[in-house]
Amino acid sequence: MIDTHAHVAATWEGAEYPGGTAGVLARAAAAGVEHVICVGAGGDAAEMASAVACARTFAGVSAITGIHPHDAKNVDAALWKLVQEMCAHPEVVAVGETGLDFHYDSSPRDVQVAVFRQHIQLARALHKPLCIHTREAEDLTLQILREERAEEVGGVIHCFSGTCAFGLAALELGFYLSIPGIVTFKKAGEIVETVVQAPLDRLLVETDSPFLAPIPYRGKRNEPAYVVETLKKMAEVKGLSVAEVERATNANAVRLFGPRLLAKLAPES
Ligand SMILES: [Zn+2]
Ligand SMILES: [Zn+2]
């Protein structure tokens, strides 16, 4: 199994895992997780650096770096220069998470849009895929992806929890959908429907740890080790075996993010 989106080296309060990053990765390996993509996308350089360091320290870990839409207001010339430097590192397999979050509106919407466009332009310059975060901004997200020709590099709609129509439109643009633990919740109708309709070769799986733990861990701090619960649910709604969905989502992750994803977590990481 590959957890394509987990904040396992995050520097903010509430993200501390028992045993730290080494502990959470060891538990993931013991649960059968082979690779984790560590996302470093807060509002400063420290968080990006922590993700790159994590990918350098631990076998079976890659990184995604960028500035989260919540923190778009922090981006100035100096920070943007650091984003460019971070994203160029070979350990970094995608640019993000970037996009639009009009639910929390933590940054002004016009600033989120401008910083989102910058990330897409950077991804195209680096020939790396995008990791997209979008909430209550589906139409504008699609519009900007099209205007900025994001399909040239593709990417993933991370923590997919939108409408089925949005999911299908993103697939049409060449993007993958990464399914989070939310799909195990009772009111996940649209996500379940999207998993049913999406081709198996375009789905990924993620935890978005430490958030959004799947059932039966709902409400607890999420960990990559729990990604199997999401895979089980996807297999159930697709009418396939867990092994088939695991094989397909692993292959999809390697196809999107590159051969670095073949490196495996060490049992004693
Ligand atoms: Zn996100
Ligand atoms: Zn995230």
Cα(63) to centroid(ligand 2), Å: 12
Spell out, as residue ranges, where the chain has pLDDT lower than 50. 269
User: What is each CA distance from 156 to 82, 95, 120, 205, in whole angstroms?
Assistant: 23, 10, 12, 11
156, 256 Cβ separation under 8 angstroms: yes
Ligand lying nearest the CA atom of residue 8: 2
- The answer to whether residue 123 is domain-embedded is yes
Torsion angle of C-alpha atoms 111, 114, 115, 116, degrees rounded to 10: 120
- The answer to whether residue 267 is domain-embedded is no
Strands across the sheet with 35-40, in order? 2-6, 35-40, 61-65, 92-101, 130-135, 155-157, 176-179, 203-205
Best CA proximity match to 91, nearest among 250, 260, 251, 204: 260
Q: How far apart are CA 263 and CA 135, in angstroms?
A: 32
Domain range for 167 is: 2-262
Q: What's the gap between Cα 153 and its chain centre?
A: 16
Look up residue 223 and give its amino acid.
E
Cα(5) to centroid(ligand 1), Å: 9
- How big, in percent rounded to 5, are the helix, strand and coil portions of the chain? 50, 15, 35
Q: Which residues, chain by chain, have CB under 5 Å from ion ligand 2?
A: 39, 208
Q: What is the pLDDT of residue 147?
A: 98
- The answer to whether residue 268 is domain-embedded is no
Q: What DSSP letter does each residue of 145-173 carry, written as one string?
A: HHHTTGGGT-EEETT--S-HHHHHHHHHT
3-state DSSP call for residue 220?
Answer: coil
Ligand lying nearest the CA atom of residue 206: 2
Give the list of residues 6+ apart from residue 172 with CB closer than 8 angstroms, or none. Answer: none
Q: What are phi and psi of 41, to 5 degrees?
A: -145, 55
Cα(77) to centroid(ligand 1), Å: 23
Q: What is the pLDDT of residue 11?
A: 83
Q: What is the pLDDT of residue 42?
A: 87
- Write out pLDDT tens, residues 48-66: 999 999 999 999 999 999 9
Residue 65, strand partner residues: 40, 95
Cα(111) to centroid(ligand 1), Å: 17
- The answer to whether residue 122 is domain-embedded is yes
Stated as kind and residue range, the H or E segment containing 61 is strand 61-65
Q: What is the CATH number of the domain that holds 9?
A: 3.20.20.140
Q: How far apart are CA 252 and CA 203, in angstroms?
A: 7
- Write out pLDDT tens, residues 11-59: 888 889 999 999 999 999 999 999 999 999 988 999 999 999 999 999 9
Ligand lying nearest the CA atom of residue 3: 2
What is the number of domains present in the chain? 1
Q: Which residues, chain by chain, have CB under 5 Å from ion ligand 1?
A: 97, 133
Cα(200) to centroid(ligand 1), Å: 22
Q: What is the pLDDT of residue 211?
A: 95
- The answer to whether residue 269 is domain-embedded is no
In terms of Cβ atoms closer than 10 Å to its own Cβ (0-12, 13-18, 19+), residue 85 is: middle
